[in-house]
Chains A and B, each alone.
Chain A
């Protein structure tokens, strides 16, 4: 998939580690089998010392160099420095044993500490790089150039140089560099990188296109509507790139912990070497234990595995078209226990359809009359009426819009009234009220009531199931709507939301959210989910503002904390699962790393654990924590499908 798994630098590093590891093992085995310390009589320790020292220098020269350099900068608690003290100390101790006639041992440990330290460093570097790549896959949406149509021909320019109103050409296989409208051509656009949606989107003349999508079939000419920095692709990239700047509580905790951990361990090590050493006179034992302490003093495992987990979580989410603006939101989202939804466009499709015409036998006539009256209107309701009427509408009517009531169409003494109850009443037309739930349009011709049309918004297919899923996760679901009580309660029941508020004006939404915020428990978090249109204040006010179908609405991308690029509510439980997994891994890593390190510290202070265990406490823990963190970046969708397939 990736062109190169390892960078040049990493490859060099890996070769060095492998060579040194092989050399180390050869010496180690030779030492155990052939007793290298017996080869030269008298000063037996010299041969193993020299051999191990060669490997030590080969693997650790850069660590030694950094230690010297950093200590010159006054960085006492620098990990390089501490590792060098630990290993040089171990060497010194082994030489001391050799000189004083004890069995020459401990060179292997000294060498191994640094060797494995480098293995750990390499692994961290590799893991971080891999994780970054998964996010930069998303960065692939960054367009490199735009084909600007000029009077003379086509010029290839940087996307940032293109101005609003310019026309750009997008050839098959190229990325759309800026947001715009198709003015020539029809094609299918691949928006997979943006939304995770695998089906290509058909576009034709007059359709808006968003930057970052890839033209798959035919050439398109696009009139640019937004400059590069305002285009969708820039907004998304900015969001993703800055996601890790907003740190979570867990991350802050761990860096704080690290800040005190290292100095504490170093001081304890110092005391451990000096006090019992002086008391018992057995210096070499206590210095050895102190050196083991230093090996465990590096907090790297913790410090890297926590941000790595969050990063992996954010990366996993972005692969499903869920953009999260920071680790802190991922952390908070895990605690989310209330979801407030804007109804239209979020829980419902926002496209209105004719549900019923009464009386049914008069259907054609009622629809025809209504279509005549609504012939000119851009209102979604008017559109739905026109769409449901198949025949030709008679033209030539004079249309008068009666604000808040409806439309009156007149031609040659014939008058069609099409509107709500108020219009019927004000015209003195006796009508049959429609009992259905939704928006009702009454139609009359020449003062005679002809019938009524019931129009309602369709709820999204996945909505009821998602509401149920969220409820199962212990979340409250609240629907906010401007609709009247009757419509709201019917929709609420169909969806299965726990609570609803009807008859709200847009400005009331903020008040409602504030009321809900006041009610909620402190440990929880309130999410507001909206389609991003006129939602900015509510998105900002809630704990986590979630904009749906955010692509195309850059205001929403700015105001929201999470952006669901799919117009699919299933993203919510999915995001919840990702957040849950991330936080579980974060907790595991914190507890596991700290626990293992403390246990090893205690054991080495007591002399039960040796320096090998200390190496595990440093490198082993780091590797395990990193592997655990990488679990977060797994697959999530397939799992749910499995669950859904199970019989209820």
Chain B
């Protein structure tokens, strides 16, 4: 399943890149693209475990860029 989320307060381009890298490492994430310019994250992950994966994604996001919120 592929989904696009809006990101709030993603303030730096490098953080977006770091976020992208650390989210890509999560199990079950097939592809992820964090766009600093569009303030959006598009993510493709396993269907059956999507919500759990997203919880993990939010955790990673908090760790890398605590100011940034993923609008679910």
In the complex, A321 has a CB within 8 A of chain B: no
Q: Mark B1-15, 1 if CB is under 8 A from A, else 0.
A: 000100000011110
Task: State which of A124, A245, A303 has its C-beta within 8 Å of the C-beta of B17.
Answer: A303
Across-interface contacts of B37 in A (CB, < 8 A): 128, 131-132, 244, 307-308, 310-311
In the complex, A202 has a CB within 8 A of chain B: no
In the complex, B63 has a CB within 8 A of chain A: yes
In the complex, A639 has a CB within 8 A of chain B: no
Report whether B4 and A245 are in contact in the complex, using a CB–CB cutoff of 8 Å: yes
Across-interface contacts of B64 in A (CB, < 8 A): 73, 75
Cα–Cα, bound, A445→B36 (Å): 72
Task: State which of B18, B39, B40 has its C-beta within 8 Å of the C-beta of A242.
Answer: B40
Shortest CB distance A317–B (Å): 14
Across-interface contacts of B12 in A (CB, < 8 A): 79, 121, 124, 300, 303-304
Across-interface contacts of B33 in A (CB, < 8 A): 245-247
Cα–Cα, bound, A258→B18 (Å): 10
Across-interface contacts of B42 in A (CB, < 8 A): 242, 245
Interface size on B, residues (CB 8 A): 21
Cα–Cα, bound, A310→B35 (Å): 12
Report whether A259 and B40 are in contact in the complex, using a CB–CB cutoff of 8 Å: no
In the complex, A38 has a CB within 8 A of chain B: no
Report whether B38 and A245 are in contact in the complex, using a CB–CB cutoff of 8 Å: yes
Cα–Cα, bound, A128→B4 (Å): 20
Across-interface contacts of B21 in A (CB, < 8 A): 255, 259
Q: Mark B48-64, 1 if CB is under 8 A from A, else 0.
A: 00000000000000011
Q: Within A115-144, which residues are at the interface with B (CB < 8 Å)?
A: 121, 124-125, 128, 131-132, 135
Task: State which of B13, B39, B40, B66 has its C-beta within 8 Å of the C-beta of A304.
Answer: B13
Cα–Cα, bound, A553→B42 (Å): 25
Across-interface contacts of B39 in A (CB, < 8 A): 132
| Beta-carbon nearest neighbor of A75 in chain B | B64
Task: Tell me whether A128 and B36 are in contact in the complex, defined as CB-CB below 8 angstroms, given that A79-B14, A300-B13 are known contacts.
Answer: yes
Across-interface contacts of B11 in A (CB, < 8 A): 121, 125
In the complex, A241 has a CB within 8 A of chain B: yes
Cα–Cα, bound, A409→B33 (Å): 63
In the complex, A69 has a CB within 8 A of chain B: yes
Cα–Cα, bound, A360→B20 (Å): 71
Report whether B14 and A299 are in contact in the complex, using a CB–CB cutoff of 8 Å: yes
Shortest CB distance A601–B (Å): 18
Shortest CB distance A298–B (Å): 8
Across-interface contacts of B63 in A (CB, < 8 A): 73-75
Shortest CB distance B12–A (Å): 6
Q: Within A280-316, which residues are at the interface with B (CB < 8 Å)?
A: 298-300, 303-304, 307-308, 310-311
Task: Tell me whether A258 and B14 are in contact in the complex, defined as CB-CB below 8 angstroms, given that A244-B35, A246-B33, A247-B33 are known contacts.
Answer: yes
Report whether B17 and A73 are in contact in the complex, using a CB–CB cutoff of 8 Å: no
In the complex, A111 has a CB within 8 A of chain B: no
In the complex, A243 has a CB within 8 A of chain B: yes
| Beta-carbon nearest neighbor of A240 in chain B | B38
Report whether A307 and B36 are in contact in the complex, using a CB–CB cutoff of 8 Å: yes
Shortest CB distance B44–A (Å): 10
Task: Tell me whether A255 and B17 are in contact in the complex, defined as CB-CB below 8 angstroms, given that A125-B11, A244-B35 are known contacts.
Answer: yes
Report whether B4 and A304 are in contact in the complex, using a CB–CB cutoff of 8 Å: no
Across-interface contacts of B20 in A (CB, < 8 A): 255
Task: Tell me whether A241 and B40 are in contact in the complex, defined as CB-CB below 8 angstroms, given that A73-B66, A246-B33 are known contacts.
Answer: yes
Report whether A243 and B38 are in contact in the complex, using a CB–CB cutoff of 8 Å: yes
Q: Mark A338-381, 1 if CB is under 8 A from B, else 0.
A: 00000000000000000000000000000000000000000000
| Beta-carbon nearest neighbor of B6 in chain A | A241
Which of A69, A131, A242 has the largest number of chain B CB atoms within 10 A? Answer: A242
Shortest CB distance A259–B (Å): 7
Across-interface contacts of B66 in A (CB, < 8 A): 66, 69-70, 73
Across-interface contacts of B36 in A (CB, < 8 A): 128, 304, 307
Across-interface contacts of A259 in B (CB, < 8 A): 17, 21
Across-interface contacts of A79 in B (CB, < 8 A): 12, 14
Shortest CB distance B13–A (Å): 4
Shortest CB distance B23–A (Å): 13
Cα–Cα, bound, A604→B39 (Å): 36
Across-interface contacts of B13 in A (CB, < 8 A): 124, 128, 300, 303-304, 307
Report whether B4 and A242 are in contact in the complex, using a CB–CB cutoff of 8 Å: yes
Shortest CB distance B6–A (Å): 9
Task: State which of B4, B14, B35, B38 has its C-beta within 8 Å of the C-beta of A300.
Answer: B14
| Beta-carbon nearest neighbor of B32 in chain A | A245
Across-interface contacts of A242 in B (CB, < 8 A): 4, 38, 40, 42
Cα–Cα, bound, A66→B15 (Å): 13
Across-interface contacts of A66 in B (CB, < 8 A): 66-67
Residue numbers of A with Cβ under 8 A of B are: 66, 69-70, 73-75, 79, 121, 124-125, 128, 131-132, 135, 241-247, 255, 258-259, 298-300, 303-304, 307-308, 310-311
Residue numbers of B with Cβ under 8 A of A are: 4, 11-14, 17-18, 20-21, 33, 35-40, 42, 63-64, 66-67
A-B contact pairs, 25 of them (CB 8 A): A66-B66, A69-B66, A74-B63, A75-B63, A79-B12, A124-B13, A131-B37, A132-B38, A241-B40, A242-B40, A243-B38, A244-B35, A244-B37, A245-B4, A255-B17, A255-B20, A255-B21, A258-B17, A259-B21, A300-B13, A303-B14, A304-B12, A304-B14, A307-B13, A311-B38
Known: A245-B42, A303-B17. 14 other contacts (CB 8 A): A73-B66, A124-B13, A125-B11, A131-B37, A132-B39, A241-B4, A241-B40, A242-B38, A298-B14, A299-B14, A300-B12, A300-B14, A307-B35, A308-B37
Closest 8 CB pairs of A and B: A304-B13, A244-B35, A255-B17, A311-B37, A303-B13, A245-B33, A244-B38, A245-B42
